[in-house]
Amino acid sequence: MNLQLLQTRLGYTFQDAGLLQQALTHRSHSATHNERLEFLGDSVLNCVVASILYERFAAIDEGDLSRLRANLVKQQSLFEIAQRLELSQFLRLGEGELKSGGFRRPSILADTLEALLGAIFLDSGFDAASRVIRAFYIPILDSVDPRTLGKDAKTLLQEFLQSKKIPLPTYNVVATHGAAHSQEFEIECLVPRLNIQVYGRGGSRRAGEQAAAKLALDAVGHSAAKGNKAAAPARKPKPRAAQLKLAGIATIQSDSSFDSSPDVATHLEGTTSV
């Protein structure tokens, strides 16, 4: 295990190698593990990210700053940073976790990254930890839109329509599939003014609505790219099968993709496949 390589990627060299080892140690490996360091690193991370957002976005209010921070420090965002560091190759896991693929698990990788930040804080103080965190997040913030980061598809669609003074979409359950304990909902999203009719699927009504809203946003973007500024003329309704073929179906399996904490932020909340 080449820990010098990891330190190079972090941009930080530990004075106390024992702290680095502990930060990389999962509880399945030994009694001396990284959970307390993770707790500390989580607090340091939230403080530094809040500071970065406060400095960069002077015109954004407290509510939107909280939304941005939640999106940036959520598990998925930390997991993506950990993947860029290739952190999985440095984990110290017990035999059971190794066999079950724990080195790929987002929760373990995200927690280990937080533990590393806590270890850096103990090793050299707040400023050192802040420099590492800023190196992670400044490039991300340079490439995202703070007005949309962390907002789900339904919210973005609603805000767009309101900005154009277009009536809000309607969502209708058109079908349910599967047994009662594992139902999948098929949801229709209609925006008549823009001649948009799309269908989304999800493990709950909410998830299906989010999937449909994502498709509606895609349709809006496609129309904008073609320069369609006016509503398309009404067309004769097509059979349902033809509508599905034209519109596509987005599928989201559960509500877990839409937690408000949160999605790293180069994409909107939710996992959608067409």
For residue 176, list its beta bridge partners: 185
70 within 8 A of 91, measured Cβ to Cβ: no
Q: Is 255 an annotated catalytic residue?
A: no
Q: Domains in the chain, please, with CATH?
A: 3-141 (1.10.1520.10), 153-258 (3.30.160.20)
In the chain, % of residues over pLDDT 90? 55
Could you say which of 38, 97, 111, 114 is catalytic? 114
The pLDDT assigned to 242 comes to: 37
Q: Which of 42, 80, 152, 269 is catalytic?
A: 42
Residue pLDDT, tens place only, 46-88: 999 999 999 999 988 898 899 889 989 999 899 999 999 999 9
Write out pLDDT tens, residues 12-51.
999 999 999 999 999 999 999 999 999 999 999 999 999 9
Q: Which residues pair with 197 in a beta bridge?
A: 190
Q: How many CA within 13 A on the CB side of residue 172?
A: 7
pTM listed for this prediction: 0.63
Do the Cβ atoms of 176 and 196 come closer than 8 Å? no
Q: What's the pLDDT score for residue 227?
A: 61
Q: 144-172 pLDDT, tens per residue?
A: 777 766 678 888 898 889 989 999 999 99
Compute the C-alpha angle 119/98/24, nearest 5°. Answer: 5
Average pLDDT, the chain: 82
64 is catalytic: no
Contact 137, 154 (CB under 8 A): no
Over residues 78-102, the pLDDT tens digits come to: 999 999 999 999 999 998 888 888 8
